[in-house]
Amino acid sequence: MKLTNTSTASQRSLIKALLRERPHSTLELRAKGICSPAPRIMELKKQGHEIITSTRTEIDQSGIKHNGIAVYTLLSEPQQETQGEQHYDN
């Protein structure tokens, strides 16, 4: 899956698809083209998605160790949500 554009709706759609598969970290989401995952996560939470945030240590693509990287886990989605337009490529 990858973004086809950088609209916030496209980013939220991709994040939801990725989190349905498994938890993802800030660095993993950035590698998928989402430069600032935290605001998109906040928007999803405001829409009724239950997403928890934990932290872990990760090594970035430059080999630098980062402590406290956010890891997002989707627990549930709003019941009224329907499958909308897909904004990313599989």
CB-based contact 81:48 (threshold 8 Å): yes
Backbone angles phi, psi at 86, to 5 degrees: -85, 130
Instruction: Provide the pLDDT for residue 79.
Output: 87
Tens digit of each residue's pLDDT (9 = 90 or more) over 2-55: 898 999 999 999 999 999 999 999 999 999 999 999 999 999 999 999 999 999
Q: Is residue 84 part of a domain?
A: no
Instruction: Provide the pLDDT for residue 78.
Output: 95
Q: What does the pLDDT average to over 75-83?
A: 80
Q: Is residue 73 part of a domain?
A: yes
- Integer Cα distance of 11 and 4 in angstroms: 9
Q: Is residue 88 part of a domain?
A: no
Decide: helix, strand or coil at residue 86. Answer: coil
How many domains does one find in the chain? 1
- Nearest 5°: the CA angle 42, 63, 13 is 25
Q: Is residue 90 part of a domain?
A: no
